[in-house]
Amino acid sequence: MLQLLAGEIAVVTGGASGIGRATARLFAEHGAAVVVADRRREPREGGVPIDREISDTGGRATFVECDVRRAAGRDAAVAAAEELGGISVLVNNAGIFRVGGFLDVTEDDYDLVTEVNVRSAYFMAQAAARAMVPRGRGVVVNLSSVAGLRGAAGCTVYCATKGAIRLLTYAMADELGPHGIRAVAVHPGYIATAMNTDDVPSLGTPAEADYVAGIPLRRVADPAEVAKAALFAASDLASYVSGSSIVVDGGRTAS
Question: Where are the chain's structural domains?
Answer: 9-248
As beta bridge partners, residue 12 has 36, 91
Handedness of CA 8, 172, 241, 134 (dihedral sign): negative
Rounded Cα distance between 119 and 128, Å, is: 14
Backbone angles phi, psi at 33, to 5 degrees: -85, 130
Rounded Cα distance between 249 and 229, Å, is: 11
pTM of the model: 0.93
Tens digits of pLDDT across the chain (255 residues):
689 999 999 999 999 999 999 999 999 999 999 999 999 999 888 899 999 999 999 999 999 999 999 999 999 999 999 999 999 999 999 999 888 899 999 999 999 999 999 999 999 999 999 999 999 999 999 999 999 999 889 999 999 999 999 999 999 999 999 999 999 999 999 887 655 555 444 555 666 777 788 899 988 889 999 999 999 999 999 999 999 999 999 999 988
Q: Is 170 a catalytic residue?
A: no
Rounded Cα distance between 190 and 217, Å, is: 12
Task: Point out the catalytic residue in the list 158, 170, 211, 240.
Answer: 158
Distance of CA 230 to CAs 4, 139, 235, Å?
12, 10, 9
Handedness of CA 170, 174, 176, 179 (dihedral sign): positive
Q: Which CATH number fits domain 9-248: 3.40.50.1220, 3.40.50.720, 3.40.190.10, 2.60.40.10?
A: 3.40.50.720
